[in-house]
Chains A and B, each alone.
Chain A
Amino acid sequence: MATFFELQEKNRRKTKWVVALFVAFFLWLGLGLDLALYYKARAHDRPTPAKVYRETGQGAYQEAELPPGAIRPYEKKSRPFRPVFTLVIGLLGAGLAWWELSGAAATVLKAVRATPVNGDTKGPGRVFHNVVEEMSIAAGMPMPSVWIIPDRDPNAMAVGLKHGDFHVAATEGLLLSLTREELQGVVAHEIAHIKNQDVRLMTTLTVLVGLSALIAEFVARCRYYGSSDQSGDDDSRIGSIIFVIWLFTVLLAPLATRIMALMVSKEREYLADASAAQFTRNPQALISALEKISGAAGATHSISQASAHLCIASPTAADLSDEQSLFSTHPPMSQRIARLRLIGRSMAQAPSGG
């Protein structure tokens, strides 16, 4: 088949890796601290005098006193490893993610003051509703609910995390400025975000980024570390090394996780564009829609930066410029258009039936 299926597969694989990296990182946040504390505590354990036993016949033993002058052997207590922080950070992360995920759709739609559109609406709303239904048929998806955002700037977004709770919203500006085919492209992009489970993924990543910032903040405020513990004990040294590495990663975490989440976000935008081309079989329409959207250089004021990764184009005006920035949620428009052109060419070469 055509290239976009391969492109989708490649993107999905990449995303899996990044998510795995995130999970491993959070495990390390808890486990590293636990290990460091474990070795530190073990270094402080006083070796206790070992007990000495005497055979009393028939395989029985009895505790015995050492003869005077003998050197008593010492042994170290075995200390159970308790992964307290691993559990705390893990549970905190899971709990926050769950909390965020359970109320996300309603919150976002309320925040943009969206109004629902049903099948009886007339005019542009009716066309929008029809297009959403067409694209969900093309994607083999259940029909999401449809919303219009009262904003003059052209933009669109997808929300919803679980089956039966999917929403697609477009601004009034978008409905007025695009042709029907261009609207199809944009809606297909949003439906693709839902189908590829980007909404769930990106919301989770946002939560994780916030969580790592929280942990870093907390650690930076605790000034009790760095105790100069110069007992040449091996355990103490291992503990110190693990602690330094841990501290380093924690303090870098907010930046690293944010960049990682934005990398995923960019990949998912390319994937949604490719899927939109698959659903509409018309990458040209999406290209001209993207050109129109980036041409309207204003910011979408009603959509906050927090929901940026759910939109067709970044709602921030600065992000619409063509500079490749590490901190924008969307790839530069020119790149997206270039990739769509490539898909268009490969589709022209291998026309599929239907």
Chain B
Amino acid sequence: MIGAIIISLIAVIAVFVAVSSYNSLINLKEQTNNSWKQIDVQLKRRHDLIPNLVEAVRGAMQFERETLEAVIAARNKAVSVCTGAGPANVAEIAAAEGALNAALSRFSAIVEAYPDLKATGNVAQFQEELTSTENRVGFARQAYNDTATSYNVAQQQFPNVLFAGLAKAAPATLWEISEHADREVPKVNLSFK
């Protein structure tokens, strides 16, 4: 009798542990997917914003056609890479976005040098928009990495490791900064006031 009680008690506890472990894995998977989508949203926002930014300064920068075109080309490349891409394409997207970052930072440095733009006060606003756009992408990426890391850690922990297969949990790829050039985030004016 007591044996039966103990066995059924253990069975109940085992079921409880299994269910909560499964649920927590599913929950984390959902969060990871969600924060991936958040990066997507921010990248798209940046891609939409770049033509406007270029258009805003094009008049004053007649002689910088190359730079402007480089930015637009990098932007178009990034757009085509991003469409329909998932977490599996992290490396590709990161490379395209890295190239876009590099083009933007050259662009931004040149904008600083144009007295016409500075005089109209558009530079400050332009810089602010660019900074915020870069930050949004960066923070979305950071939030994704944080969530994906806790998801990956949870998969390896006991007892979750027993139910990872059942929850179809696979390690999520982190968004690493791959190229050296990427680390040089566009040096935009951060002390903007």
Chain A residues near B (Cβ < 8 Å) = 1, 122, 124, 126-127, 130-131, 133-135, 137-140, 176, 179-181, 184, 278-279, 281, 352-354
Q: What B residues does A354 contact at CB under 8 A?
A: 138, 141-142, 144-146, 174-175, 177
B136 and A134 contact, CB distance less than 8 A:
yes
Residue B158 is within 8 A (CB to CB) of chain A in the complex:
no
A138 and B139 contact, CB distance less than 8 A:
yes
A126 and B128 contact, CB distance less than 8 A:
yes
| Top 8 A-B residue pairs of the complex, sorted by shortest distance between their CB atoms | A138-B139, A354-B145, A130-B132, A354-B142, A134-B135, A137-B139, A179-B191, A353-B174
B128 and A352 contact, CB distance less than 8 A:
no
B192 and A353 contact, CB distance less than 8 A:
no
A140 and B142 contact, CB distance less than 8 A:
no
Partner of B131, one of A137, A138, A180: A180
B192 and A137 contact, CB distance less than 8 A:
no
Residue B140 is within 8 A (CB to CB) of chain A in the complex:
yes
Known: A1-B149, A127-B128, A134-B132. A180 touches B190 (CB 8 A): yes
Known: A134-B139, A137-B42, A180-B131. A352 touches B147 (CB 8 A): no
* Complex-state Cα separation, A354 to B90, whole angstroms: 12
- Segment 10-45 of B: residues with Cβ below 8 Å from A: 31, 34-35, 38, 42
B193 and A279 contact, CB distance less than 8 A:
no
Partner of B132, one of A124, A133, A139, A281: A133
Residue B125 is within 8 A (CB to CB) of chain A in the complex:
yes
Q: What B residues does A1 contact at CB under 8 A?
A: 149-150, 153
Known: A134-B135, A353-B174, A353-B176. A139 touches B143 (CB 8 A): yes
Q: What A residues does B132 contact at CB under 8 A?
A: 130-131, 133-134
Q: What's the minimum C-beta distance from B175 to chain A, rounded to whole angstroms?
A: 6
B139 and A353 contact, CB distance less than 8 A:
no
A179 and B174 contact, CB distance less than 8 A:
no
Known: A1-B153, A180-B192, A354-B174. A279 touches B145 (CB 8 A): no
Known: A1-B153, A180-B191, A181-B190. A138 touches B143 (CB 8 A): yes
- Segment 67-82 of B: residues with Cβ below 8 Å from A: none
* Complex-state Cα separation, A135 to B139, whole angstroms: 8
Q: Give the interface residue-count category, chain B.
A: 20 to 34
B145 and A133 contact, CB distance less than 8 A:
no
Chain B residues near A (Cβ < 8 Å) = 31, 34-35, 38, 42, 125, 128-129, 131-132, 135-136, 138-147, 149-150, 153, 174-177, 190-193
B38 and A137 contact, CB distance less than 8 A:
yes
* Complex-state Cα separation, A278 to B147, whole angstroms: 12
Q: What A residues does B129 contact at CB under 8 A?
A: 130
* Complex-state Cα separation, A176 to B140, whole angstroms: 27
Nearest residue (CB) in A for B191 is A179
Q: What A residues does B145 contact at CB under 8 A?
A: 352-354
Known: A1-B153, A137-B38. A353 touches B128 (CB 8 A): no
Nearest residue (CB) in A for B147 is A140
* Complex-state Cα separation, A126 to B192, whole angstroms: 12
Q: What A residues does B131 contact at CB under 8 A?
A: 130, 180
Q: What's the minimum C-beta distance from B66 to chain A, rounded to whole angstroms?
A: 30
Partner of B143, one of A131, A140, A353: A140
B38 and A130 contact, CB distance less than 8 A:
no
* Complex-state Cα separation, A179 to B131, whole angstroms: 13
Q: What's the minimum C-beta distance from B189 to chain A, rounded to whole angstroms?
A: 8
Nearest residue (CB) in B for A129 is B132
* Complex-state Cα separation, A278 to B145, whole angstroms: 12
Q: What B residues does A278 contact at CB under 8 A?
A: 146
A130 and B141 contact, CB distance less than 8 A:
no
* Complex-state Cα separation, A191 to B51, whole angstroms: 31
* Complex-state Cα separation, A127 to B175, whole angstroms: 27
Partner of A353, one of B42, B136, B175: B175
* Complex-state Cα separation, A176 to B193, whole angstroms: 7
Known: A126-B128, A134-B135, A354-B142. A140 touches B193 (CB 8 A): no
Known: A122-B125, A180-B191. A281 touches B136 (CB 8 A): no
Known: A1-B153, A352-B145. A137 touches B175 (CB 8 A): no
B175 and A140 contact, CB distance less than 8 A:
no
Q: What's the minimum C-beta distance from A338 to chain B, rounded to whole angstroms?
A: 25
B128 and A130 contact, CB distance less than 8 A:
yes
Give the residue among B42, B143, B174, B175 with the most A Cβ atoms within 10 A: B143
Contact sample, A vs B, 28 pairs, CB 8 Å cutoff: A1-B149, A127-B128, A130-B132, A130-B135, A131-B132, A133-B136, A134-B136, A134-B139, A137-B136, A137-B139, A137-B140, A137-B143, A138-B143, A140-B34, A140-B143, A179-B191, A179-B192, A180-B190, A278-B146, A352-B149, A353-B145, A353-B174, A353-B177, A354-B138, A354-B142, A354-B145, A354-B146, A354-B175
